[in-house]
Amino acid sequence: MKPEEKTVVIHQPDFMPYLGFFDRLLHADTYVVLETAQYVNGTSKSWMNRDKIKTQKGEQWITVCVKKAPRETRIKDILLLDDGRWQKNNLGLLHQNYRKAPYYKEIMPFVEALYGGEYVYFWEFSFASIKMLLELFAIDIPIVFSSDLAPRGKNNDMIVDIMNKLGAKTYLSGTGAADYYDPAVYEKAGIKVIWQDFKHPVYPQQFGEFIPYLSSIDLLFNCGREQSGKILRGER
């Protein structure tokens, strides 16, 4: 594959991401797990260690609890809280709200296996949740960890450095990166930036009116592996 033909997605290992994340991977040739970036928590835009599920009362956060760390700590160095309670609470929330979903029996064993694993660092557990969802959606994409590339710089400069080290010329970005996007940096490096144009699919849900932008696990519980893959790919 020629460099100009190689499309790369670079994104931190968010916990059980929403469908838009996986839509990007369907249109890319490589996924770079950005676990060397700074861990961000405690803001309205921070979804790294949490995502939303649907309950009878509407949206509700499901959260991975981590130990407090200094502001500049990298994602790869964040430790999980090891009291065992948040894992039990998460599984309880999922059971309570999806036990009557059509595909609960198909999907819940994968979730239980995820939570049954042994993890020390947040990124390990969060990346395991991504791997679980990749399997359930039947997405096969080469994965590279940013720590193996030792990227230099921040924001745009870091992205360009990663792209250069991969020998890639097309970067597929989510719209969240628009806040710090500097086109001049990419133009100078000869890198083409494509902005994701994701239109959220509507699918059967429990508990009334459809709510978009939940964790991808919501689609899987409601529609199952086979149909969810088709919905994500726009094949239905």
Tell me the percentage of the chain whose pLDDT exceeds 70.
Answer: 96
State pTM to two decimals: 0.94
Cα 52 from Cα 179, distance rounded (Å)? 23
Cα 19 from Cα 217, distance rounded (Å)? 9
List pLDDT tens digits, range 39-88: 987 655 568 999 999 999 999 999 999 999 998 899 999 999 998 899 99
User: What does the pLDDT read at residue 3?
Assistant: 53
The residue with greater pLDDT, 154 or 93, is 93
pLDDT of residue 178 exceeding 80: no
Environment class of 226 (CB within 10 Å of its CB; exposed 0-12, middle 13-18, buried 19+): exposed
